[in-house]
Structure 1
């Protein structure tokens, strides 16, 4: 049997180094905390609010339980026809992502090459707002997170400032919605594969007082980093499955 040539060995070595680099990048993204340090030990409080992180294989959303303050702060959702007075409304759900992929891929069958290629380059961003009813807290796609009142306020502000605005307020994208209970809006920033929807979710959770990994581009990376860095802190991911 003929042995491997020098070219074959170099090719194998190159592939091994590429895989090793990816593994190291992913590992460091999870293990290295962000922020790197805290001003002091957190003080536990019995007053907390549960928010939810909802995930599928590639994307995460944040669900905030509805109360009067939330409905006032996000009252502009009525302008695009969302029924904030629906008696079955329990959560407002927010996600951030690339315009092409997010708005054109309603289900996996809608997947096209163009939006995918844009997601690996640079795409304008959008915010997806959705009305949610009862969500089972023990579902595998749900992570329950406890935050205090200050963390909740910072989270709301972070989401509000993620909307791009005109003089009349947030800018909707009519006709891009998936159904009667959701809407898309122009968002701040640009989307790419390195800084995408899950890094936005991580940034939002850091505003709420959590520590995430340095770079969490996929939902499982974000969930692992939340478990790793928040077990003994004030804000604990109480239900986080792989």
Structure 2
């Protein structure tokens, strides 16, 4: 029994490594100029950081600061990610993650959007920058919009701090469609080179050069 479980885990890890190493949009090159976004990670979860306002999109209508516990008129960026409802709402720290929550997430559960508001976020190894052409950024925006529930039909929940919030969203989370796969799919929709199946954060971040590289 134990040997079979260990073999299944190893197979999953190997498949994830292979899947995240097979590129989509293999010919993509980063332009010298355009719209700068960021891909951020805490080592487990990834998110896409975008300017609050560009000619392609003004996020203030979709993610108003009034939904936050601490509205700030100086916000310049929004960080958007997607994940499993119970993991987002019931685990303020990773130490709070229970086996039951993990099993429920792996087998299928409701997804939520997590939106954080930033003021001039600084690039670093955990917050890496990518430059997109205007048309690529427009495709990224359109992909994210398709995951959103219209403001009049959605619910929102308090975040971890004064500057973030959760929203009901489309999509079902399971072991094949994780938070990191959501990030990879959004980048791929824009045309960015990224792995085909990336259930883990490292599978996403290895396609985004760090400032030190």
Length-normalised TM-score, structure 1 = 0.74
Match of 1:86 among 73, 78, 87: 73
In structure 1, stretches of 5+ residues that fail to align are 1-10, 227-236
Higher RCO, Cα 8 Å, sep 6+: 2
CA contact (8 A) 2:195 2:204 kept: yes
Report the alpha carbon displacement of residue 68 of structure 1 after superposing the two structures with TM.
5.1
Contact 1:143 1:241 in 2 (8 A): no
1:76-131 Cα distance to aligned partner (Å, 9 max, x none): 322753477622x1211101001011111122343234322211111100001110
Contact 1:146–1:238, Cα closer than 8 Å, also in 2: no
CA deviation string 1:180-219 (max 9, x = no partner): 2111111111001221100000011012221211211111
TM-score normalised per structure 2: 0.83
Q: Which runs of 5+ in 2 are unaligned?
A: none
Deviation track 1:133-188 (CA, whole Å, cap 9, x = no partner) reads: 232212x21221111101111111111211123xx6351223x4223211111111
Q: Which has the larger radius of gyration?
A: 1
2:82 equivalent in structure 1: 96
Alpha carbons of structure 1 residues 93 and 56: separation in structure 2 relative to 1, 3 Å: same
State the Cα distance separating 1:64 from its structure 2 match. Answer: 0.5
Please provide the CA RMSD for this pair.
Answer: 3.0
State the alpha-carbon separation in 2 of the partners of residues 42 and 107 from structure 1.
36
1:206 matches 2:188? yes
Partner of 2:122: 136
Any idea what SS the aligned residue of 1:169 has?
Answer: coil
